[in-house]
Amino acid sequence: MKSESDGYSGFWDQGSQGLRNQAAVIAVLGAVMLVGCDVAPNTAKRAPGNNRAVMDITMQQAGERADSMLDATLNAIKPEVNWTHSGTSGGSCDVSRSRMVMTIISKERRGNFLGVLQRFWEKNGYMIKSVNMSEKFPAIFAQSSDGFGVSLVVGGAGQVAFEVDSPCVKPSEVADPTTPANGPDYDYPIPRPNVHSDFWSSTTPISSALPTASAG
């Protein structure tokens, strides 16, 4: 496996409290990953010698659940975007899947892009844990009802990364994802976005619903 549109416009410009650097975004993402391991349904058990609740599925099943969340998330983006798998990682009792968007998302359409995903997650019962309103490196962190963390982070060159992190589960081997990438499936190093979209890459702003700062 690899190692690693209704609403108001101008949200990111009006609500931002200044740019945050990528290191800060990554630090927040790490914190969300750790929190994810502590959340599980009421049926969860306790691992021997471990204070974390263990969800009654294997790491392989958690990986498949993460894949299905990523599939649904990316399928909600219209027009569709090109993406590549960008890694599977596992801890002592958790697994993460990530994908990188290869379509160029212009800064003028970035807020609309994030708004689409926030509304999709909310519609599907996800709790929005936090929204980073940085103009340059915005991000959204959410959580499913069964304790899986999902995030959207905009990084260098405006490249969008998605990641799903499982709660603590039963250890097992984890196979690579079976969903084919939408476009070339890169190994490292993954290039910067290189696919033009008449819609998402356009530099013409549009007025449509953008992410909200409130967290559930």
- Tens of pLDDT, residue by residue over 125-134, are 999 999 999 9
User: Which residues lie closer than 8 Å to 177 by C-beta, 6 or more apart?
Assistant: 63, 67, 85, 88, 97
User: Which of 86, 121, 103 has the alpha carbon at shortest distance from 212?
Assistant: 121
- Is 115 in a helix, a strand, or coil? helix
Burial class (CB in 10 A: 0-12, 13-18, 19+), 50: exposed
What global pTM score does this model have? 0.76
- Is 152 in a helix, a strand, or coil? strand
Confidence (pLDDT) at 9? 30
Distances (CA, A) of 99 to 45, 96, 110, 135, 179: 30, 10, 17, 22, 11
Say which DSSP state 195 is in. Answer: B
Confidence (pLDDT) at 56? 95
Gap between the Cα atoms of 27 and 194, Å rounded: 27
- Burial string for 78-102 (b: 16+ CB within 10 Å, else e) reads eeebbbbbbbbbbeebbbbbbbbbb
Confidence (pLDDT) at 207? 77
Q: Are strands 160-165 and 127-132 parallel, antiparallel or unpaired?
A: unpaired
The two most distant CA atoms of the chain are separated, in Å, by 56
Say which DSSP state 156 is in. Answer: G
Q: Which residues of the chain have pLDDT under 70?
A: 1-52, 208-216
Confidence (pLDDT) at 12? 35
Q: Scan for tokens 């379509």, then name that residue.
A: 103
- Is 20 in a helix, a strand, or coil? coil
Count of residues in the chain? 216
Identify whether the C-beta of residue 95 lies closer than 8 Å to the C-beta of residue 174: yes
Confidence (pLDDT) at 210? 60
Does 6 sit behind a cis peptide bond, omega within 30 degrees of 0 on the bond before it?
yes
Identify whether the C-beta of residue 19 lies closer than 8 Å to the C-beta of residue 136: yes
pLDDT tens-place string over residues 20-70: 333 343 343 444 333 334 333 333 454 444 566 899 999 999 999 999 999
Gap between the Cα atoms of 103 and 101, Å rounded: 6
Q: Retrieve residue 186's tokens.
A: 């890169």
